Amino acid sequence: MSNKRKHKTLDLNNKMEILKKLDSGQNMCKLAKEYGVGRATIHDLKKKRQKIVDHVKTMESGPGKRKTLKVGDCPKMENALYMWFLQRRSKHTPISGEILKTKAIEFYKKITHKDDFRASDGWLDKFKKRFGIRLLTVSGEKLSSDESAVQPFIQHFKNKVEELGLLPDQIYNADESGLFWRLLPNKTFVPSTEASAPGRKVSKDRITFMPCSNATGTHKLDLLVIGKAKNPRAFKNICLPVCYKNQSRSWVTREVFSEWFHKDFVPEVRKFMKRSNLPIKALLVLDNAPGHPNEQELKSSDGNIQTIFLPPNCTPLLQPMDQNVIQKIKSLYKNKLLIHIISQDGDITQSLKGMNLKDVVFSLAHAWKSVSSNLIQSSWKKLWPTMNDVSETEETDEWDPEDNMPIVDWLKNLSEKGLETSEENLNSWFEGIEETEQIMTDEEIISEAVQEENFVEILEPPTTTTAIRVKPDNALMCFNTCITWAEENGMSVKDIIILRNMREKVFKQGLQVAQKQTSIKDYFKTT
């Protein structure tokens, strides 16, 4: 008589491993034997795949030893608390367990209008497990930059570079930043079409973006953009200029970052090294943000592409991307946002009605492309003072000259659109000075947590612009007009060539459409 198999409950880490192995084509029966479970268990995991993956993506430090997807007794309160926690951690504010318990009670009262919740140590432990939160600090005070750790790390970094025998082309940095993509000067949030509906609060539409480049600026990877929507309608049938991933709160989590590192960063680095005739090895410099896995997890399978982490509280002092690069991207994006607003008919709200994630990612991608290699090289000066001696490139800490409208003209055009602001406000908005204050209030966090199931619909409204199909003949006329205007107004040869190439593509596509229509007509004539 055969022994009955003992019941085994897999933790989420094992479940994710199995799903990845299933994706690679491994056999269900072999996986069932390897993990000591029945084939039906593997089949159930496959059926629940998306639910498991989506849940793990929401967890700050990964699933750990958690086994189920159960939620707490008050999931809306816990969602709000977790969003509040991530927002504070993104500002490098340490949070203790006692602070979390106090905030949980406060959110519970506001959401349920009851006073029967006691945030016990047991509840806190379960909450941390449910959301994959790592050990909390014991201090509630915001830590200042740790200057004492700077010089030791600079030496450690230099030793690591020499040990691996790397050139500046082989050393990378990545850093993420939040972007409220509808935020205008005077801290004005322009509502989306849904958000302006009766009874609904104005939404602070937010995404996270992450630039990544090598130290010379010769290899700039596509921006990583993290939004809430899994399959935004605006992205349908278009080739994105960014690497887009979704997370229910637009945050970087260990799962999201690990996926980007292994599926995007490592393959792209290998391709670049091969093209450049360099040894296929590299080092990625990161800060110690909560959503980053550890060095052992962020390493290529052959160990040739590694990571190194900056010391805690040294990001403002050493992180290359934090030395004007991210600020430059945001400034260029805001420039394009204002051009979009001013160039549309109607007031500001009407101008932004059709604006969606597609417009945002294309503007961000263009802004990132406009960041010069000189700016990227100069951003490494604090971490790697001798880098320019090694790379033999011209050193500069000046931003590229950017053709921009004078502030007076911006103010005039915005005023005509109904937005009155001052020169001081506009300058500080372009420079990002106000952004340190742009954290969501408790009321806004609660509002988002309560309506979380509607994130995708709120973020991606159907627009009239996406419903219109432009015919090839109309597009051809528009490109002819654009080319004539470009030639008459002294646009660069490069820009004119791009317009002419686009016109040629439209012409060829028009021929294909005409041939298909002719073929269909001929078919019906002969049948």
Residue 58 pLDDT level (bands cut at 50, 70, 90): low
Q: What is the pLDDT of residue 19?
A: 81
Q: What is the mean pLDDT of residues 54-79?
A: 64
Q: Using CA atoms, how far apart are residues 402 and 404, in angstroms rounded to an integer?
A: 6
> What integer is the mean pLDDT of 38-55?
75
pLDDT at residue 2 above 60?
no
Sequential DSSP letters for 332-392: HHHHHHHHHHHHSSSSHHHHTTT--HHHHHHHHHHHHHHS-HHHHHHTTTTT-TTHHHHHT
The pLDDT assigned to 214 comes to 97
Amino acid at 184: L
At 140, is the pLDDT very low, low, confident or very high (cuts 50, 70, 90)? very low
Q: What is the pLDDT of residue 456?
A: 38
Phi, psi of 269 (to 5 degrees): -65, -40
User: Among all chains, which residue has been given the structure tokens 């795949």?
Assistant: 49
Residue 399 pLDDT level (bands cut at 50, 70, 90): very low
Beta-carbon contacts of 283 under 8 Å, excluding residues fewer than 6 positions away, are 160, 161, 164, 166, 170, 171, 172, 305, 306, 307, 308
State the pLDDT confidence band at 43, using cuts at 50, 70 and 90.
confident
- 46 or 376: which leads in pLDDT: 376
Least confident of 251-255, 347-351, 402-406, 484-488: 402-406
Looking at per-residue pLDDT, the higher value among 514 and 348 belongs to 348
Res. 485: pLDDT tops 50: yes
DSSP symbols for 9-78: PPPHHHHHHHHHHHHTT--HHHHHHHHT--HHHHHHHHHTHHHHHHHHHT-TT--TT-------S-HHHH
Alpha-carbon distance 322 to 174, whole Å? 9
Average model confidence (pLDDT) across the chain: 78
Place of tokens 């400034």: 331
Share of the chain above pLDDT 90, in %: 28
> What local confidence, expressed as pLDDT, does residue 63 receive?
53
Residue 6 pLDDT:
63
Contact 78, 107 (CB under 8 A): no
Average pLDDT over residues 372-376: 94
Listed range (126-140, 157-171, 198-212, 453-467) with the worst mean pLDDT: 453-467
More confident residue, 510 or 92: 510
Whether 60 contacts 133, CB under 8 Å: yes
Q: Is the pLDDT of residue 466 over 50?
A: no
Residues 390 and 336: their CA atoms lie apart, in Å, by: 36
Question: What's the pLDDT at 523?
Answer: 54
Instruction: Give me the pLDDT at residue 138, please.
Output: 43
pLDDT for res 525: 55
Calculate mean pLDDT across residues 246-272. 91
Compute the average pLDDT of residues 121-145.
Answer: 65
- Summarize pLDDT for 490-515 with one digit per residue, the tens: 888 888 888 888 888 877 777 776 66
Residue 315 has pLDDT above 70, yes or no: yes
Mean pLDDT of all residues in 417-436? 77
Q: Which residues, listed in sequence order, are joined to residue 171 by a DSSP beta bridge?
A: 283
Tokens of 344: 């549309």
99-122 pLDDT, tens digit per residue, is 889 999 999 999 988 888 888 988
Asked whether residue 341 carries a pLDDT value surpassing 50, the answer given is yes
Question: What is d(CA 422, CA 313) in angstroms, rounded to the nearest whole number?
Answer: 34
Which of 5-19, 402-416, 434-448 has the highest average model confidence (pLDDT)?
Answer: 402-416
- Residue 462 — very low, low, confident or very high, per pLDDT cuts 50/70/90? very low
Q: Which of 236-245, 451-460, 512-521 has the lowest mean pLDDT?
A: 451-460
SS3 letters for 187-254? Answer: HEECCCCCCCCCCCCCCCCEEEEECEEECCCCCECCCEEEECCCCCHHHCCCCCCCEEEECCCCCCCH
